[in-house]
Amino acid sequence: MRIEESRHGAVAVLRPVGPLIRADAEQVLERSRQTAERSLGRLVLDMEGVTYADSKGLESLADLAEEMAAAGRELKLTGVNETLREVFDLTEIAVLFEHYDDVASAARSFL
């Protein structure tokens, strides 16, 4: 899995590209942790490039969201496709994330 990183002002944006499956879930989780630490918790995951997530991928997102919440931060997601949104709802993890239509809206939410 490729993970693109960019900045939107003081906000770090990670964009994983490819399916979020067992083989890549730990890489995404660790990269997100490191990026959140460097950006003082101002992290947006742009999920537009993620077409599918297996149980390990979902677990890694839930773990990250819970870790950030324990630190008083929120995991913000953008670009979640309809299939992933349905999976988030069915597995009841959608409530762990703040969802935004685009990166700019998510970045503004930190103000």
pLDDT along the chain (111 residues), means of 10: 96 97 95 95 97 96 96 95 95 96 96 89
- Residue 15's pLDDT is 98
- Residue 4's pLDDT is 98
Number of domains in the chain: 1
- Residue 106's pLDDT is 97
- Residue 31's pLDDT is 97
For residue 4, CA distances in Å to 83, 95, 106, 109, 111 come to 22, 25, 17, 21, 24
- Residue 59's pLDDT is 97
As to burial, measured by CB atoms within 10 angstroms (0-12 exposed, 13-18 middle, 19+ buried), residue 1 is middle
pTM for the model stands at 0.94
Query: Whole domain around residue 18: which residue ranges?
Result: 2-108
Of 94, 76, 74, 98, give the one whose Cα is nearest residue 84: 94
Distance, CA of 73 to CA of 31 (rounded, Å): 17
- Residue 97's pLDDT is 95
- Residue 45's pLDDT is 98
- Residue 61's pLDDT is 97
Backbone φ/ψ region at 38: left (φ over 0), alpha (ψ -120 to 50), beta: alpha
- Residue 21's pLDDT is 96
> Mean pLDDT for the chain?
96
CATH label of the domain that carries residue 8? 3.30.750.24
